[in-house]
Each structure stands twice: as structure tokens, then as C-alpha cells.
Amino acid sequence: MGSLPDACDLVIGGFPCQDISINGKRAGVAGPRSGLYRAMVETVRKTRPKMFVAENVRGLLYAYNKASLATVIADFTALGYTVSYKLYHAADYGVPQRRERVLIVGVLKGAVRFRPPEPHLDSMSRVSSRHAIQDLETAPQDAAFSHVWSLAKKSSEQGGRMLDPNKPAHTVRAECHGNNQFNYSLPRRISMREAARFQTFPDSFLFKARLRETERMIGNAVPPVLAWHVATAVDATLRTFDAARMAAE
């Protein structure tokens, strides 16, 4: 695991979803690719943060993962944390993408409870794919800007999705080649910069990698705008936590 500090305020992690996802082998947190989950539990045990945040896919809440979810809750609760979880729909927080992720939050027991950020958009006010990328329709390919796209033709149903210009994009995948959705008005798949826009990366964020690595970085990311809303709620909890500790001293 490498070196760890003796203590910290917050631990954040996203354990691999391949063993959890409906598209994977459904091995759960005991699967061969879930070692990072066990490493996160150990990190929390050793550093005793005031809070932790763990991210995973919606599949963690499905019936076939009932035992895995129970294990996650039990493992962190046993370390002395009050644990809660919530399914977030990124589009409800201003992300132009239909992306659902589970965030598990723990707060040291006897302190305060985490209050998750409330969604501020509904199905009628979500940011559309056209609003997010329309200005890129006439932009030439630019590798430095990651405005490059796959030339793969329509394949399976999963790899043949077309953007609806009036709705948020479909979920951006980490393994994109041949699976990237098609632009709503152009005869091509979306570019990596368009995918980054759907994830709410600012244009100033440059991906210093080849196409495949860029696809994986973008597709595996938590949308920065959603992360900001969660981080703001975490910050508020930490401030309340510290104030309660000081008042008790």
C-alpha cells in the first residue's frame, strides 16, 4: 500500500467497479479486481479520518450485490463510522450526462451526520448534449485538445447509441472505442473533448495521453461538477464536526 500518514481528515476513493457492474462478472467485493476496496478499508483503519467517501456504480445497489453492500457497510461500521449511501444522478446536479453513481460516506460515530447535497435540476431543466457541445460541431480535429474521435462504425446496440440533442448524453464509458455514442447531427462518434464536456471537465484541462488512455481517464472519472457538490457537503460536515469537537472540549 505504500506509506500512509498517521492521521488525516478525509479519505476519498473509488474501488473498481468491474466486479460490481451489471456488465461485469458480478463477483462482488470479494472478486479479483476489488483489492482496492480492501486497501481502502485498511487505509481508513490506519489513518482514522474524520470522514471517508467511496464511489462505485449503481450496480452495487442491485439485488445480486446485496451481500457486497452489506459487507461494505459492516466493514466500515466496525471501524467506528456512521455509514450512509446515496444514488446520485449526475444530470440532476448540472452534468449533461445520464450517469448514476453510488457514493458511500462515513463519519466518525458520535460526531455529526453527513447531509448529501440536494439535486437542483429535474428532467425538464437538465443540461442537454447540444448545449454542452454545439460549439464543437465545426471545430477541426485537434489531438492536443483531445478533439479526436473513433471511426468505428455502428456495432452492437451498446455501441450504436445516438445522442438526443435535447437530453443529456448517455453514460460515457471507460472502454470507449467502438462504444462511444454518435453525435446527434454529424456522421461520427463523439470526440474525446465532447466526452470530457459531458463529464464537465473544463476545456483548460488537457489530457496528456494517447487516445485509449484518454478514453479511460475520462470514462472512469467522477464528473467534476458532481464532485464539487459532494465536496461542498463534505466540507460543511467537516466544519460542523470540528465545531462540535471544540465545543465538547
Report, as residue numbers or ranges, the catalytic residues.
Answer: 17
Q: Which amino acid is at 81?
A: Y
Q: E-strand spans in the chain?
A: 10-13, 51-57, 81-89, 100-108
Q: At what angle do helices 66-77 and 35-47 cross, to 10 degrees?
A: 20
Task: Tell me the DSSP string of 4-48.
Answer: --S--SEEEE---STTTSTTTT--GGGSTT-HHHHHHHHHHHHH-
Residue 240 CB burial class (10 angstroms; 0-12, 13-18, ≥19): middle
The C-alpha angle 177, 181, 186, rounded to 5 degrees, equals 110
In sequence order, the 6+-apart residues with CB closer than 8 A to the CB of 210 are none
